[in-house]
Amino acid sequence: MRSFATKRWAGIEGLTLLVVAIGVLTTSSGLILAGIIGFGYAAYTKLWDAPVADVSIDRELGDEAPAPGETTGVTLTITNTGSKWLSDLRVIDGVPPALETIDGPARIGTSLRPGETTTCHYTVSVVRGKHTWDSLRLITRNPSGSRERETVCEVSTTLRCTPPLHAGANLSLHGLTTPYSGRVTTDVGGYGIEFHSTRAYRSGDPLNRIDWNRRARTGTLSTLNFREERAATVILLVDSRKEAYVAAEPTGRNAVERSVDAVATIFSSLISNGDRVGIATMSPTECWIAPQSGKTHTARVQEALATHPGLAPTATEGTLYHTLWFNRFIRRLPADAQVVFCSPFVDDRPIYTARRLHAYGHLVTVITPDETTADTIGDRIAAIERQHRLQTLRGNGIRVVDWGDEPLPTAVMAATQRWSQ
């Protein structure tokens, strides 16, 4: 980039001439001599242009794949590969927006002779996702600071942070299931463990299901039915619109991050129960993984939860056309799928989504991270509004897990006790 004048020393010639003129008029030799310093500086500011930052930069990460919540050191090594002395070199590293610099700013001001090397070290706290450092800004100035030149230097470094999947919370599902056997107890009589009903014997019924007690008592044959246990198809839907990126504290984890945590936990517990589970987002950058089961599917979901831009720890740009999104989503949704919907419910849009899904016959369970606080009147009104929204959902027969500060399994347990099957 071309250098430009900082106008830092603007007016020094005029001021000096004024002082000298006063010195001449009052015959004060001291003032005239003082003018020499001023003129010296005026000449100094005209010396040299801002040098071109001819440097090589290397960025090294302490750990390229740390676990979420860990910290990792970043070391910048800057070497002056040009032939000019960079007397005033300022380097500003472009830290990915989701990472927090916790030890020293990612910036350094230095002075490098040709061939000389300096390092800058800082630490970032890592969150889930794929984070890329793209560019650095280099600012050089001439010694007087009257000219400046800014260069952007491309040095790409990628850090991947994939959270492990831990099964933790057993979310009891609704009775909407697939024909495949699984763990969800249904109201269908057949093979199973829990008693369901008895019916008249039909030839061909297995011997072990004949009610022999009744046969002994009355002499008629009847067959026992048990509740069938079947597998469910579940879509885990995350609200990651810009509005959902809210946190109770400025440094706390936001609702989307907590939703993704909940999804990861529920996903692994459901998939290990034999259910078919898929992932979807309600966001401008849409994510859709059709419900399946198996190890490959698990690996794909784990990767998506870590790095998909629609589930990123910071909001993505773009507009969500809600009706279009919903129509597309409902078309993709298998007819027998239930939906687990994670949203902080900070506006009315998710209510509309949940109620429409419910109306279409997909049973909906809502998991809502509570990010409201009670610090100010406004905060309390927001909390009341949110409670009112959840009340509306419960009134519509939608199951709600209100997830505060407690661990997710505790919240699920507390909510499950209230649900009538």
Partner 1 sequence: MSGETTSRGQTRQETINRKPAAASSYAAIFLSLLAAAVLVLGSLVGATIAAVGALITTVSVYRGRQKGVTLGALMTTGAIVAAGVLGAPPAPLLGATGCAILAWDIGSSAIDIGQTLGHNADTARLEAVRAAFSLFVTSTTATVGYAIYVLAGDGQPMTALVLLILGAVIIIAVYRQ
Please give the residues from 308 up to 347 whose contact with partner 1 meets the rule CB under 8 A.
313-315, 344, 346-347
Per rule CB under 8 A, is residue 88 in the interface with partner 1? yes
Per rule CB under 8 A, is residue 157 in the interface with partner 1? no
Rounded least distance, CB 400 to partner 1, Å: 16
| Listed ranges 8-16, 57-65, 231-239, 277-285: which one lies at the site for partner 1 (CB under 8 A) | 8-16
Q: Tokens standing for 417?
A: 């006790």
Binding pattern for the stretch 236-275 against partner 1, x by CB under 8 A and - elsewhere: ------xx-xxxxxx-x-x---------------------
Q: Tokens standing for 208?
A: 């072990």
13-72 binders of partner 1 (CB under 8 A)? 13, 15, 17, 19-20, 22-24, 26-44, 46-47
User: 92-101: string of b/e by CB count within 10 Å (b at 16+)?
Assistant: bbbbbebbee
With respect to partner 1, which residue has the nearer C-beta, 194 or 249? Answer: 249
Give yes or no for a contact between 347 and 320, defined as CB atoms under 8 angstroms apart: no
Rounded least distance, CB 44 to partner 1, Å: 5
Rounded Cα distance, 186 and 189, in Å: 8
Nearest to 122 by CA among 101, 138, 96: 101
Q: How many residues form the binding site for partner 1 (CB under 8 A)?
A: 83
Q: What is the secondary structure of 89-115 as a DSSP string?
A: EEEEE---TT-EEEES-SEEEEEE-TT
Q: Which helix (H) or strand (E) holds 367?
A: strand 364-369
Give yes or no for a contact between 151 and 1, defined as CB atoms under 8 angstroms apart: yes
Per rule CB under 8 A, is residue 120 in the interface with partner 1? yes
Could you tell me where the DSSP H helices lie in 229-348? Answer: 255-272, 295-307, 322-332
Residue from 1, 4, 5, 8 binding partner 1 (CB under 8 A): 8
The SS3 of residue 148 is strand
Give the type of residue at 67. Answer: A
Per rule CB under 8 A, is residue 139 in the interface with partner 1? yes
| Listed ranges 9-17, 222-230, 265-273, 319-327: which one lies at the site for partner 1 (CB under 8 A) | 9-17
167-206 binders of partner 1 (CB under 8 A)? none
Rounded least distance, CB 77 to partner 1, Å: 14
Q: Which helix (H) or strand (E) holds 45?
A: helix 29-46
With respect to partner 1, which residue has the nearer C-beta, 23 or 192? Answer: 23
Rounded least distance, CB 240 to partner 1, Å: 10
Q: Alpha carbon 277 to chain centroid distance? A: 21
Per rule CB under 8 A, is residue 109 in the interface with partner 1? yes
With respect to partner 1, which residue has the nearer C-beta, 325 or 345? Answer: 345
